[in-house]
Structure 1
Amino acid sequence: MGRKTTHKFKAEVSQLLDILVHSLYTNKEIFLRELISNASDALEKVRFKATSEGSENDVAPEIRITADKDAGTVTVTDTGVGMTRDELMRNIGTIAHSGTAELTRMAQEGKESLDALIGRFGVGFYSVYMVADEVTVTTRSIEPDAQAIIWTSDGRTDYKLQELDEDLPRGTRIEVKLKEDMVSRFANEAALKNIVNKHSNFINFPIYVADERVNTVTALWREPKFQIKDKQYAEFYKFLTYDSEDPFDTLHTSVDAPVQFNALMFIPKSGDDPFGMAREQRGLDLYVRRVLIEKQNKDLLPEYLGFVKGVVDTEDLPLNISRETLQDNMLMRKISSTLVKQVLGNLEKMAKDNADRYAEFWQAHGTLFKAGYMDFLNKDKFAKLVRFNSSASEDSKGLASFDDYISRAKDEQKEIYYAFGPSREALGLSPYLEVFRRKGVEVLYLYEPIDEFVMDALRDYEGYTLTSAEHADMAKLDKFEDLEKKEEAEALTEEQQSSLDRMMARIKDVLGEAVTEVKASRRLSDSPVCLANPDGNVTSSMDKIMRVVSKDTSIPKKVLEVNPDHILVRNMLTIFERDENDPFIDQAANQLFESALLLEGYLTDPHALVGRVQDLLTKSSGWYVEKTN
């Protein structure tokens, strides 16, 4: 045996070790992740040395982990580059980072998790003292004629160094003498395998726990794309997500600038979320040099791309970066920006090359994707990818893009019209859309509240204004020819027009404050009346959303538009001209107003409406009996 010496830890190391030893934090398993990462680095250095110097590497690169429950130990051995005496003192005897006072303060105040502290201050090896009473490091450097060294410490105030005369194999062996209450938790092979699978599954070297290789899944994202078969991608996807189906689409990318990273992302076939877990389960797994840093990182992709599963592995982040630092890290923002552009570019290509395939994607993930209206940086890309049902579609499953709409727009039309409704059938009967049906002007159909937010956020597309059909400028629609010439009602005489104005004033008196105005409509052809928002107000559907949010159950005051050419209105006009005080005018006014409220979804008490219908049916049935006799 060679000489044996004792050395005091630097003051900052003693402080740190004291924090770790007395730590109350629970995530103690990361000590193994740190030891494996160090072993992996040592093996990488051997490989680099062999490549750069052209030397032979005759020792198999591997990491072996064993547990001895009786002795209460866990041992990690690697065949890496090893350390000389000076390297050992430099790497373990001191910390090359400042800020230990701040570290001590934060740990004592309990402001951050221990994992985050270890990450922030780059002190991975010392995490072993969360679980250890004593640690023994035996190492021999790859350098020629290097002596084997033993480093031993209980993690309190000092460490012992001893040189060995025996010729040990190259590499490092770390024996962790576990604290008594840690033996059952860590001195068993099943627990060690679980920790390796969780944190170090894709380390580039074989990791054995008691002679069984644990990390058997290849870090596929690091492999050249042209060598990988679809079956391999599918197997990796299923391993990653536990999905029984193959992925719908795969995006494998390698980026060198502005940040170096590899990513392997998948789009699942299904967007089903029966238990409402999607928001919690979203995110890409973040690795640094094959070591898992964070499972399901929520910052790499925005929520509207939360259907994307996969991994990102970068060389540029520090291995032990903390979660708090991740959120503020500029490199992370650059990775995120690049990933978003790649996912959107991939979807754009899919939409362009295969509309049917893109329709499948939209069916599965379109509802979530529409939340991208808030991504203002990628507004143009998002707008190209968003889809809606349309009056030009054959059924409710048909999809139209803004580009599709523009390709079918009429000459001189510079608006993309849309309307919100509960179903295609309801919109097909909507009074607001009668003028559009008459003119053959396409309308995009919106069925979900988020659709309205999409339109409100985008506002325009390629020089076309996104316009609610409810707010359409009738003068712009009047210039388009009617598709079919209907038999027009006889024009009103000046006297009849004057009577109509008085009748509408009478209807306003009957309805009182329930409406803001009663006026003649230019949009209606088949319906006698409709309700419209006063000029400048939001659409009816947006108004409903806002009322739900503010828990406002009142009925909004709207404009009642009357169709002067409808036969019912003409009959009312005849009755009014005969007797302006005829009670039928009041009855019809209330009935038409409440019928319009019913169509709008605002009528909460239908009793009066039903009673009026029954009264009118009773009277009209008497007339019908007389006429048919």
Structure 2
Amino acid sequence: MTTATDKETLGFQTEAKQLLQLMIHSLYSNKEIFLRELISNASDAADKLRFEALSDGTLYEDDPELRIAIDFDKEAKTITIADNGIGMSKEDVINHLGTIAKSGTAEFMSKLSGDQQKDSQLIGQFGVGFYSAFIVADRVEVKTRRAGLDKSEGVHWESEGEAEFSVESIEKEGRGTTIILHLREDSADFADDFRIRSVVKKYSDHISLPVMMEKQITPEYDEEGNEKPVEENLEPEFEAINDATALWTRSRSEVEDDEYKEFYKHVSHDFQDPLTWSHNKVEGKLEYNSLLYVPAKAPFDMWNRDATRGLKLYVQRTFIMDDAEQFLPLYLRFIKGVVDSNDLSLNVSREILQQDPAVDSMKSALTKRVLDMLSKMAKKDAEQYQAFWDEFGQVLKEGPAEDFSNKEKIAKLFRFASTHSNSEVQDQSLEDYVSRMKEGQEKIYYVAAENYTTGSNSPHLEVFRKKGIEVLVLFDRVDEWLMGHMMDFDGKGFQDVGKGELDLGELEDEADKQEKEKLESENKDLVERVKTVLEAKVEEVRVTNRLTDSPACLVVNDGDMGAQMRRILEQAGQAMPESKPILELNPEHSLVQKLDQESDEDRFSDLVEILFDQSTLAEGGQLDDPAAYVHRLNKLLLELSQ
């Protein structure tokens, strides 16, 4: 019974209108996913009812058998999907079906590129599957009532997927949601028994809720081959058209790869296949099932550390919560999946999870399982692992600071650019680096810079290239912070080539050391002259053997913050302690030798300032007074041209 009492017409939120158009146009080539998305939403509604009913059993309203029902009308060209899950109130309907009620909406919309394939992936990550109904329908009706509300508080929502929608109050006997799709002419073929069954089997067989359809009556024939008339007023029979068994409870040998992929799309609302997954059953002191997935693409809000994340939690097959973040550390926040425990209480809360020792044990085991899954991927398929690293590598780099017990395992998964490959592609592992170390080399050398070009062209690499020593080129914003938590790998310490005095250990022969001592002695006066000019800007001036082609470079003291990290924190508005760099001179460079011969102290000062500013620029720094640098340089050029 429908009684319009307060019908009103409302406009879609701007972002929702854009999303509707993308749904209609971007996903048109794969129209059948609309059914998967609507069934997935119905399944979620049933899960939410189960959870709320743990504390209020009256929400079942004498109808405890949860199910999804699908019906169609060929002549009217409609498909109806109904569930008896939690349902929606009027406020819920307006919030969920008229707006995109999620944080990060503006960021999501700003990332839309106009490329249909890329945009359809973003839509999947954002999880707005209801709008997929408009891929096949030019009009959609929703009749719903939230469990626990009076039957007079039902709601009827209707829209043609354009600028507006209408909402009115109706009477609705049963709780839950019924969606009626009025199919477009070019999608009318979906109003067919066989088509619906095949799509459900393909995409939704793993749903633990029965998906019911009216059983088709098999025609009977008499002896002459004539079809017998069907008895009128027979009660229709319904049958489940899916397995209705929670996929994670089944044996791995029973589950096909395609089933795993479709289940991933159900739990993640992602339209792409996952890169890999791990399905495991644990028995013994703790008993639980887990099914963990590595997505192919990073979600748009991955860098928002406060964004919802985590696994779907079930206790004894009963849904408890989405986004249970207590089962994996923050640096693995991109992992999707399900964990189903037999040991937790059905009335568990987020607060209880934080204090439960069983959860700590499960978290430790699940973390190792993810790291093992990634390690296996890296060994088995380097190309696939590279695709993973390009998407999630920077998040994984948060691991050593957060998870000391697994630091070595995490470090083996890292990939960096290096002078070995001469490419900005981060595809070199620390194990590869160690295997290529020179005889007598005790350190893993790296340079940190704002970008790959600056790092790979850094003057600090000159002596390493001369001696054929590999150096890692780090240019992710998180890298210098990461290295503060990476003391060693495989017994080899890390050394920033832009910090402190250059120490090549056994890689530096006695002749090198004697040559350096000789240069220090011969250039003592020059060093003092330069230091006098730059006294306010540098901690120290010294000669160096780390340069072969450049006249000078800047070095950071061992105990000081690196230039890359300092710039990042300054850009974030943080006050930095005063710190002066060290200027190292290459006394064998012709410019430095000419500098030593300069008798005009004013000209000497200008040349020293230019040398200092050039050293700042060479390591990606910003000049304090760019105009003064340009003035000195122009003055020098004019002198040379005369």
What is the CA distance between 1:590 and its match in structure 2?
0.9
1:618 aligns with 2:618: no
Match of 2:357 in 1: 330
In structure 1, give the amino acid aligned to 2:575: D
Aligned runs of 1:53-64 on 2, under 5 Å? none
Contact 1:388 1:400 in 2 (8 A): yes
**In the alignment, what sits opposite 1:531?**
554
Aligned to 2:499: 471
Structure 1 contact 518–560 (Cα < 8 Å) conserved: yes
Q: Does residue 256 of the first structure (1) align with residue 279 of the second (2)? A: no
Matched, 1:192 2:212: no
Amino acid at match of 1:350: M
Amino acid at match of 2:176: L
Relative to structure 1, the CA distance from residue 278 to residue 471 in structure 2 (aligned partners, 3 Å threshold; closer, same or farther) is closer
Deviations 1:570-598, CA, capped at 9 Å, x for gaps: 111222xxx3x442211111111122222
Question: How far does the alpha carbon of each residue in 1:298-353 deviate from its partner, in whole angstroms, 9 at most, with x for none?
Answer: 11111111111111111111212222212211111111111111111111122222
User: Does the CA contact (< 8 Å) of 1:251 and 1:265 recur in 2?
Assistant: yes
Structure 2 residue 306 is the aligned partner of structure 1 residue 291: no
Q: 1:211 to 1:308 in 2, by over 3 A?
A: farther
When residues 212 and 503 of structure 1 are mapped into structure 2, their CA distance, relative to the original with a 3 A threshold, is farther
Stretch of structure 1 that moved more, 338-347 or 499-508: 499-508
The answer to whether the 8 A contact 1:258-1:334 is kept is no
Q: Where does residue 585 of structure 1 map in the other structure?
A: 604
For the structure 1 residues 259 and 37, does the alpha-carbon distance in structure 2 shift closer, same or farther, using more than 3 Å as the test? farther
Equivalence map 1:502-517=2 (5 Å): 502-517=525-540
**Would the alpha carbon gap of residues 372 and 215 (structure 1) be closer, same or farther in structure 2, given more than 3 Å must change?**
farther
Deviation at 1:207, TM superposition (A): 8.8
Which residue number in structure 1 is paired with residue 460 of structure 2? 432
The unaligned stretches of length 5 or more in structure 2 are 1-47, 70-83, 85-145, 156-169, 179-205, 215-235
Is 2:375 aligned against 1:348? yes
The alignment partner of 1:299 has SS state of: helix
1:395 is matched with which residue? Answer: 423
Q: Shift in Å at residue 478 of structure 1? A: 7.0
2:386 to 350, 359, 363: 359
TM-score by length of 1: 0.64
Q: Residue 569 of structure 1: CA displacement?
A: 0.8
1:375 partnered with 2:403: yes
What is the Cα deviation at residue 386 of structure 1?
1.5
Give the share of equivalent positions with the same residue, in percent: 33
Gaps of 5+ in 1: 1-26, 44-61, 67-75, 77-175, 195-200, 623-629
- Give 2:528's aligned amino acid: A
State the one-letter code of the partner of 1:589.
V
Q: Does 1:452 align with 2:480?
A: yes
Taking the aligned partners of 2:321 and 2:488, their CA distance within structure 1 comes to 39
State the TM-score, normalized to the length of structure 2.
0.63
1:563 is matched with which residue? 586
Shift of 1:188: 3.6
Question: Per the alignment, do residues 477 and 617 of structure 1 end up closer, same or farther by CA in structure 2, a change over 3 Å counting?
Answer: farther
In structure 2, C-alpha distance between the alignment counterparts of 1:597 and 1:543, rounded to whole Å? 14
Per the alignment, residue 489 of structure 2 pairs with: 461
Q: Does 1:243 align with 2:270?
A: yes
Provide the rounded CA distance (Å) in 2 between the counterparts of 1:278 and 1:498: 54
Change (3 A) 1:321 1:363: same
Q: Distance in 1 between matches of 2:471 and 2:517?
A: 35
Give the aligned partner of residue 107 of structure 2: none
CA RMSD of aligned residues (A): 4.0
User: Larger radius of gyration, structure 1 or 2?
Assistant: 1
Q: Once the 2 structures are TM-superposed, how far is the Cα of residue 607 of structure 1 from its aligned partner?
A: 0.2
1:404 to 432, 447, 452: 432
Contact 2:313 2:338 in 1 (8 A): yes
Distance 1:435 1:276, change over 3 A: closer
- Give the structure 2 partner of residue 46 of structure 1: none
Of residues 425-434 and 471-480 in structure 1, the stretch that sits farther from structure 2 once superposed is 471-480
Quickly say closer, same or farther: Cα 1:183–1:213, change in 2 above 3 A: farther
Match of 1:415 among 425, 439, 443: 443
1:362 deviation in Å? 0.8
Identify if the C-alpha distance between structure 1 residues 556 and 64 changes in structure 2 by more than 3 Å, giving closer, same or farther: closer
Alpha-carbon distance change, 292 to 509 in structure 1, aligned in 2, over 3 angstroms: same
The secondary structure found in structure 2 opposite 1:307 is coil
Name the CA shift for 1:585/1:215 in 2 (closer, same or farther; >3 Å): farther
Matched, 1:231 2:258: yes
2:444–2:492 Cα contact (<8 Å) kept: yes
Change (3 A) 1:326 1:399: same
State the distance in 1 between where 2:545 and 2:447 align: 18
SS of residue paired to 2:478 = helix
Q: 1:536 to 1:493 in 2, by over 3 A?
A: closer
Deviations 1:254-304 (A, max 9, x none): 111331111111111111416866752321000112211111111111111
